[in-house]
Amino acid sequence: MRRDGLLALGFAIVVVVGGWWAGLVQEPPRRLDLVGYALAAAAAGGLAWRRRAPQVPVAVAAGITSVYLLAGYPFGPVLLTVVWGMFEYARRRPLRESALAAAVATAVSVAAVLPRMASHLDLPAVGLLLWGACWLAVPWSIGAVVYMRRQAQIEKQEELVRRTLLEERIRVSREVHDVAGHGFAVVAMQAGVALVVLDERPEQAREALRAIRDTSRAALGELRAVIENIDSPADIGALVEQVRAAGVEVALEHDGLAGASERQRRIAYEVVRESLTDVLRHAEGATAAVEIGHAGGSVTVRISNDGERHDAAEPGPTGAAETRTNTPTGAYGHGIEGMRERVEAAGGSFEVRTERGFEVHARIPR
């Protein structure tokens, strides 16, 4: 408000000085006096509310300027107060509202000028009057364009926020699905082992129960990290150990991912986790191999197993990579499809093959 007040004060000085000069070069019905100067200054003073109450400048300018002109004071910069006020209102208020205000302000201004021109109302005078009325539409048009551009930018930002929130919800739901799916698959496997050997091998049953406890704790920790939006450590070695403890033989070839980014590590971890969960669920008795490499800025992940999937639908052509269009949801699960989307969103490639077992290939660029 202080800044706008100083601006209005500066503009009032310009209007007053300009009106004084205009009075020297014109022959108005009435010379400028203290009342005329006060009216000119007041018309400009409404701009002090241009942001707090944008209807004030245009209303004050149109009303006071009309009184100024009807009183017979000279034409001059005081007319610019209506122009500026109209522009401010148009760029801050909806189009329908500002258009109505512009029409009213224009009608009031024209009505104030018309009596002074009635005595010599010839064709040039009428043309000048009409031109003045049209010219008052210019500041409204410019302000309306500014308003529409700003509204478009606001809507674009709001849409971006909505899309980002939706993507985050989808990410969290997939994370919860993958973490819970892996944890429950390991727990179910260990529970089955404990039931089988409970009477004959109590020590092995005890080991299975310990594995259930450790896996449950790890899964709860990962779920808590997902909910709190904190990335849990992407420890592929610990993940493989969990699956081994569930009774699946897993060979791990891992170069440590020296130089890989945290995002690459995280996506590689999620691909391995979901693929091994798939082995636990659908390929009982299979052995798996995990190969992870890092070269040329890209991380490559390969997970394979030699078992037959118990729930597999009709497989695709032998040796062909399954794609999004021909991969049955029941065959690979939402988690695998979610990993495909995540890898491809990072600019990488993802393939699932069904030749001689089940095999996943992923490349994650930097």
The position carrying tokens 């364009």 is 145
Q: Which residues contact 344 (CB under 8 A, 6 or more apart)?
A: 350
The residue with greater pLDDT, 180 or 363, is 363
Distances (CA, A) of 275 to 179, 181, 232, 282: 12, 11, 19, 11
Q: Which residues contact 65 (CB under 8 A, 6 or more apart)?
A: 43, 78, 79, 81, 82, 109, 112
Whether the pLDDT of residue 211 is over 90: the answer is no
Secondary structure of residue 305 in the 3-state scheme = strand
User: What average pLDDT does the chain have?
Assistant: 78
pTM greater than 0.85: no
* DSSP assignments along 65-103, one per residue: HHHHHHTTPPPSTTHHHHHHHHHHHHHHS-HHHHHHHHH
d(CA 129, CA 133): 6
Q: Would you place residue 364 in the very low, low, confident or very high pLDDT band (cuts 50, 70, 90)?
A: very high
Sign of CA dihedral 41, 42, 43, 48: positive
Determine the pLDDT at residue 362: 93
Distances (CA, A) of 217 to 2, 180, 208: 60, 12, 14
| pLDDT per position as a tens digit, 40-98 | 899 888 888 888 888 888 889 888 988 888 888 888 888 888 888 889 899 988 888 88
Domains, the chain: 2-135 (no CATH), 158-364 (3.30.565.10)
The residue with greater pLDDT, 196 or 99, is 99
Whether the pLDDT of residue 303 is over 80: the answer is yes
The DSSP H or E segment spanning 143 is helix 137-197
Do 140 and 87 contact (CB within 8 A), yes or no?
A: yes
d(CA 99, CA 145): 12
Beta strands 321-322 and 287-295 are unpaired
CA diameter of the chain = 120
- Which of 179-183, 208-212, 317-321 holds the top average pLDDT? 208-212
